[in-house]
Chain A
Amino acid sequence: MDGFMRIVRLAWSYLRIGIANEVQYRVNFFIQILQSFIALATGLIGLWVVFSQTTRLGGWSQPELLAVMGIYMLMGGVIQSAIQPNMQRLMNEIQDGTLDFTLTKPVDGQILVSIREFRFWQLTDVLVGLVVIIIAVFQMQVRLGIGQALVFVTTLLLGGIMIYCFWLILTTTAFWLIRIWELVNLFQGLYAAGRWPVTIYPDWLRIGLTFLVPVAFAVTVPAEVLTNRLTPLTLLGAFGLATLLMVLARFIWRLGVHSYSGASA
């Protein structure tokens, strides 16, 4: 328990430093807002083009797809603010051999590399995503109970955990492959698939996006909660896969650290 509190305190310190660092650059906030709106506009134009040709896409109506887009933005904001910056830093440190300084610290290495960076202004995407979700819920004219809202938040959390594990596994390959900045592109390409409900994809892609890359659990499943499509089995699967991925990420991380030889230091 003591160890746990120590980690929480450490994470809190890093969070504060991250925020303090970012609020120095207040103009960046407006730039970020602008970027969030550009992303929103692009997404809306995409939906508009699609729905100018049809009224439903694979059984999903326009407001339902708007909800998917909101969740996609929200989760994207979480990834960009808390997950990806950490992983990119880890990537660089493995390549440069400066990870030595992190590994020698008296805290669990995996935890430390996962909490060091926080991009506060990126949270504008979370905010915009949230607004889009609320508008979509109004448009769908569904009544959300407390229970459903709780399940929604749970699925979002599980989705976030799965994305983190997936990112960590990807990044850990740097221990063997050294130069992997292309992974950022790979991940962003795969994540972009979450803009649409994975149910419209052919089997092989849908299965890949569910189990290999947990985009389905990060975006589509929370959207299924809001549109009353979720089955208890899916929820159970989300818990199961999240646990599995955490164990797997931990295992691969340990394997990676073992084969790390400090390229330059």
Chain B
Amino acid sequence: MKRYIDFYLTAMKFAVLEQVQYRAQNYFYMVGMIVEPTIYLVVWTTIARQQGGSVGGYTTGGLAAYYIVWTLVRQMNVVLTPYDWENRIQHGRLSMELMRPMHPIHWDVAYFAGWKFVMVFLWIPIAVVLSLIFKPTLNPTGWQVGGFFIAIWGAYLVRTMMYEMLGLITLWTTRVSAIFELFFALELILSGRFVPMTLMPAWVQHIAYYLPFQWTFFFPINSLVGSPAPIDLLTGLGMQLMWILIGVAVVKVVWHFGIHRFSSVGN
């Protein structure tokens, strides 16, 4: 156990030191990322205004809060993309990582977790500017703030496991982009990324409840900007935990069968 803690702390520190050097690049990345929710916010605010100030129970201030918190959740949801796995396998870099006395996934989890501290730090001024422009209404209770804090890390782990799982498909075939894109599209629609889930038709919400996607976007965002009861927060965190465990189990099984197929392309 101690060696894992040591490893995680070191990898996280390493990530912070490395990423702090690339501040301009981190900002490029972030600005690109912030345009997306701004677009959604504008679209939905336009609709809310046309209908006298609110849409599906969200006022313009509420929508602003939703999408500004979205930007923080999005930072937390940055994980190793499946395309990086494709790269790792196509170029044979995985061989090197297999030599380590530890599953390569630990490095991914630790590195991206460390990077979060740089991202969130750099995100603060952006959030201030966005708040000045869009004037969000946000009055969370202490419960909600606490729940949110746990939920964003839960979201990080749920999404990490989903994307690792997806990335491992590359062990069987390197033509994976269509699968990835389909997955991204599903995520966009069913996670609350494009629109708060409550604005979706009831049957879509029903389906989404039983899929992992909304626990990575809608649930953490709503736990801060909505008005969930403590029991809803606990249920949501429980769902996150369930999906993390499912993810770990699936990754384990897939890894077990997949790694034998890896034949170290490249060097």
Contact = CB atoms under 8 A, between A and B. Distances in A.
Interface of A: 27-28, 31, 34-35, 38-39, 41-42, 45-46, 49-50, 52-54, 56-58, 177, 179-180, 182-183, 185-190, 192-193, 195-196, 200-202, 204-205
B25 A180 contact: yes
B46 interface: yes
Given A38-B178, A49-B195, A185 B32 contact: yes
B29 A186 contact: yes
A188 B26 CA distance: 15
Contacts of A38: 178, 181-182, 185
Contacts of B195: 49
B181 A54 contact: no
A201 B43 CA distance: 8
Interface of B: 22, 24-26, 28-29, 31-36, 38-39, 42-43, 46-47, 50-51, 55-56, 133, 175, 177-178, 181-182, 185, 188-189, 194-195, 199-201
Contact of A182 (B26, B42, B177): B26
A192 B36 CA distance: 7
A50 B47 contact: yes
Contacts of B38: 193, 205
B43 A35 contact: no
B39 A193 contact: yes
Given A182-B26, A185-B32, 4 more contacts: A34-B178, A39-B181, A180-B25, A205-B38
A243 B51 CA distance: 42
B46 A46 contact: no
B33 A200 contact: no
A45 B193 CA distance: 13
A contact face: mostly helix, strand, loop, or mixed? helix
A31 B32 contact: no
Contacts of B56: 53
A31 B35 contact: no
A199 to B, nearest CB: 10
Contacts of A189: 31-36
B contact face: mostly helix, strand, loop, or mixed? helix
B116 to A, nearest CB: 16
A87 to B, nearest CB: 14
A190 B31 CA distance: 9
A187 B32 contact: yes
Given A183-B28, A189-B35, A192-B35, A31 B199 contact: no
A192 B26 CA distance: 19
Contacts of A56: 50
A204 B133 CA distance: 10
25 contacts: A34-B178, A35-B177, A35-B178, A35-B181, A46-B194, A49-B199, A50-B47, A52-B201, A53-B51, A54-B47, A54-B50, A54-B51, A54-B55, A57-B47, A179-B22, A180-B28, A182-B26, A185-B28, A185-B33, A186-B32, A188-B32, A190-B32, A192-B39, A195-B39, A205-B38
A48 to B, nearest CB: 10
Contacts of B28: 180, 182-183, 185-186
Given A31-B178, A35-B178, A57 B32 contact: no
A200 B189 contact: no
A200 B185 contact: no
Given A38-B185, A182-B32, A57 B43 contact: yes
A200 B43 contact: yes
B35 to A, nearest CB: 4
Contacts of A187: 32
What are the nearest 6 A-B pairs in CB distance?
A: A189-B32, A186-B32, A182-B29, A189-B35, A182-B28, A185-B32
A74 to B, nearest CB: 18
Contacts of A188: 32
B36 to A, nearest CB: 6
Contacts of A179: 22, 25
A45 B194 CA distance: 11
A94 B83 CA distance: 22
Contacts of A185: 28-29, 32-33
Contact of B39 (A54, A183, A186, A196): A196
A177 B21 CA distance: 11
Contacts of B34: 189
A53 B47 contact: yes
Contacts of A53: 47, 51, 55-56, 199
B177 A41 contact: no
A47 to B, nearest CB: 11
A183 B31 CA distance: 10
Given A38-B182, A42-B189, A185-B33, A177 B50 contact: no
